[in-house]
Each structure stands twice: as C-alpha cells, then as structure tokens.
Amino acid sequence: MKIQGYLRDDGRKGIRNYVIVAYLVECAHHVAREIALPFRECGTQLIGFPGCYPNAYADRIMQRICTHPNVGAVLLVSLGCESFKRDRLASAIRQSGRPVEMLVIQQNGGTRTTIADGRNFVEKALRQLQNTPRCEMNVSDLIVGTICGGSDATSGLTANPVIGKAFDWLVDHGAAAIFEETNELVGCEGHLASRAITPELGRELFNAVVKAEDYHRVLGHGSFAPGNADGGLSTQEEKSLGAYAKSGCRPISGMLKPGDIPPRGGLYLLDVVPDGEVRFGFPNISDNAEVVELTACGANLILFSTGRGSVVGSAVSPTIKICANPETFRRLGEDMDIDAGRILEDRATLDEVGQEVVDSILGTAAGQATVSEALGHQEFILTYKSFEPLGPSCLPR
C-alpha cells in the first residue's frame, strides 16, 4: 500500500495535515473550543495546557506537538496573564515553517471578537494547507506508539502480544516503535535490561522501572486499578507481563523521555514517570496523558489495546483500537478497529491478527480514518511533570 505523506520544511513526513487550535491556559479553553468546533470534521484539532503557572515539561510537550509532522498550521489562544511562554512557542512554530497566529483574548476585545478572528485564521489555514507538498513515505519513515488501557485478563493473551507481533514487523522494516508505561512494567525490569543493545542502556531501563516502583510506593498505590481486578487480573505482576507483551521480541535500541524523538528506527521504551522527588501526584492521571507523551515523541499513530473497553481516541495522532476480549468487542464493537479476542475463540491466530494490525497501520498511514477518528474523538490532556535530560547511555549508537 503506497503511503503519500505530507512533507514538512524540516524534512519530517506526516500522515495527516491538521490545523491545531491550542489554548495556553484553562481560561482560554472555551474560546479555543468555539473556534475549532465548526471545523472539527475538516482537519482541525483542539489541544491545550490548563495550568496558569510555568512548567518546562508542558512547554516542551506543547512545542513538540505544535511542530508534529501531522500538523500543518497552528492557532495559539492566550488569555494574556498566564505564565506560559507563548512568544517562544510561536517562534518555534514559525521557525518550523508552519503558519502560526497568536490571539490574546485580553488584547483582542474578548470572547466574541477572538472567536471570530480565530475562525478566520482557521478558514485561511485550511485553504493554504491544500497546497502542502506530498511525498512518498516508506515504513521506515513511521514512528508508531502503543499503550494499553482498561486492561483485563485477556489483554496479555491477545491484543498485547498481537501488538508485539506488529512491533517486531515495524522494527524489521526500519520504523521506530515506542512502548511505555514504566509504572506498569514493575517486575519486568530484568527482562527489559536483558534486551538492551548495550549494558549501559540495560542499566538505564532497569533503573527506570525501579524509579517507577519507588514513585508509587511514596504515593501509596500502584497502577493496578479496581477495574483491572474486576476484569480478572490478579496481581501487578500479571498486569506488568501483559503490558510487557506489547514490546515484542526485538532488541531495545534506546530509552526516551516525553518529547524525545527517536533518532532512527528501532524499539524504544518511553519513561513516563517524573524524575526527582514526588511532586505532582500520579504520573499519568489517565491513558490519554500517555498518548499525548507518545505523540510528543513524534508518533504518527497509536496502537491502543483494551480488554474492558475504552472509547477514547486522540488529537494529532490517529488511534487504532485493538480489543482483547471478544465479549467486550460484541458490546463495544462500534468503538473498536480490530477484534483480537477472536484468538480466544479459535477464530484467528496471533499471527493472523498481528497481520491485521500491520495492515491497519499501513491503511491509517495512507489516509484511512480509524474508528475513533470517524467518531470525532480528539482527547488531549496535559498536566505538570518534571524530567531530567537523557544521558548518553539512553540512546547508544
């Protein structure tokens, strides 16, 4: 299947050509939403950061997403008195070659005027993006992320290992594949370290999971939720093994932190647990937060495994929903792309469904809408965190 991507000035290639409307504080959320709403089916996505106080992590994530290869133009909506470094963000977007406009509500005349001005920009940007250069993309140009949410006892038996099969195929064909949830890999740190391409990277992977375990110990709870137990999972270790299955079998090429873009093809672990003292509570308050972090690492699309069922999608990166449980698929089939639960009922094999995932990746990259896209899902959430820069052993050559 031929993939015709969108060529950006920095040489990166996207599989979508969105206009982003981004609010820079919660006080500007309503105005931004009203700007984007008439264009939600025309290639416009709404994102934003709610906080009033500055945070380097949020700055970094917003910059990465506003210059994501799936993004062609950006409208920034500011109240005016928040601490977000809006001029620096606008400058970074402009330097990337994308059209960008800033609307400051306090200077622009208020709600109605800003909404009208914002809609004028979006209309012009959508017309302008029709002339975006197209280019041929190879599988090796893709970055694919994965996450599991609403896990149950079937997740580690069907959907997660199916994603692992697809990840092996992607890595073998030169793509970058990113798995995450260090807080849901507790107990698997030895397995991760043994697959690292260098001993130094192995220690980084091991320590990242130990950090996650320590972080949760301070908080007094882990990532094992009541819904997981209701779905038949018995322990954190069982859940971790299921999450680990998404990584496939290939060597691990590096470790990333949110906003780090893989320098080349290969398999990467994304460390999502903040560095330093426990300051901001639960590392990710929902699955959507981790999807945002995968997107900030350049993921063109996301593979989302669920056993109990999830109806979310995401802004910017199309989400392919892979259902682990056949009963869940029968109830929530209209929100799922692939029924991996057929494996449990001897209606398909791991290899067959793994090939379906590969085909879905290629189809989505070629422009086919995922179920969540067709339903209009654009979930996005960004909160406070703190990370140290990567050390040299995290991305060995």
From 114, 133, 152, give the residue that closes a domain.
Answer: 133
| pLDDT one-digit tens code per residue, 37-67 | 999 999 999 999 999 999 999 999 999 999 9
Is the pLDDT reported for residue 230 higher than 80? no
Same domain for 158 and 122: no
User: pLDDT band for position 242 (50/70/90)?
Assistant: confident
Query: Does the predicted TM-score (pTM) go above 0.85?
Result: yes
Q: Residue 29's domain is classified under what CATH number?
A: 3.40.50.2300
CA distance 355 to 218: 42
Q: How far apart are CA 147 and CA 151, in angstroms?
A: 10
Please indicate, yes or no, whether residues 362 and 280 belong to a single structural domain of this protein.
yes
Are 269 and 386 in a shared domain? yes
Out of 133, 154, 175, a domain closes at 133
The tokens describing 227, both together, are 């819904």
225 shares a domain with 355: yes
Contact of 332 with 345, CB cutoff 8 Å: no
Considering 133, 149, 169, which residue would you say is the last residue of a domain? 133
Q: Are residues 146 and 129 in the same domain?
A: no
CA separation, residue 266 to residues 213, 260, 292, 318, 397 (Å): 26, 14, 21, 21, 11
Clarify whether residues 28 and 13 are in a common domain.
yes
Contact 393, 201 (CB under 8 A): yes
The mean pLDDT of the chain is 94
**Does 319 share its domain with 189?**
yes
How would residue 233 be classed by pLDDT, with cut points 50, 70 and 90?
low
In the chain, DSSP assigns E strands to 3-7, 13-14, 18-23, 44-48, 71-78, 100-104, 134-137, 143-148, 176-179, 252-256, 266-270, 301-306, 319-323, 338-339
Whether residues 7 and 95 share a domain: the answer is yes
Residue 101 sits in the same domain as residue 158: no
HSE value, Cβ hemisphere, 13 Å, CA-based, for 397: 0
Distances (CA, A) of 4 to 43, 131, 237: 17, 14, 42
Residues 264 and 324 in one domain: yes
Structure tokens at 23: 């609010």
75-79, 143-147, 206-210, 279-283: which has the minimum mean pLDDT?
Answer: 279-283
Tokens of 316: 């910017």
Greatest pairwise CA separation for the chain in angstroms:
63
Total domains present in the chain: 2
Give backbone dihedrals phi and psi of 298, rounded to 5 degrees, phi first. Answer: 95, 10
| Full residue range of the structural domain in which residue 167 is found | 139-394
How many Cα atoms are found within 13 Å in the side-chain-facing hemisphere of 94?
A: 10
pLDDT tens digits for 4-46?
999 999 999 999 999 999 999 999 999 999 999 999 999 999 9
Token pair recorded at residue 191: 């397995």
| Sheet strands (E) in 105-184 | 134-137, 143-148, 176-179
Give yes or no: residues 149 and 126 share one domain: no
Q: Is 233 helix (H, G, I), strand (E, B) or coil?
A: coil
Query: Do 198 and 325 fall within a single domain?
Result: yes
pLDDT mean over 277-297: 92
373 within 8 A of 318, measured Cβ to Cβ: yes
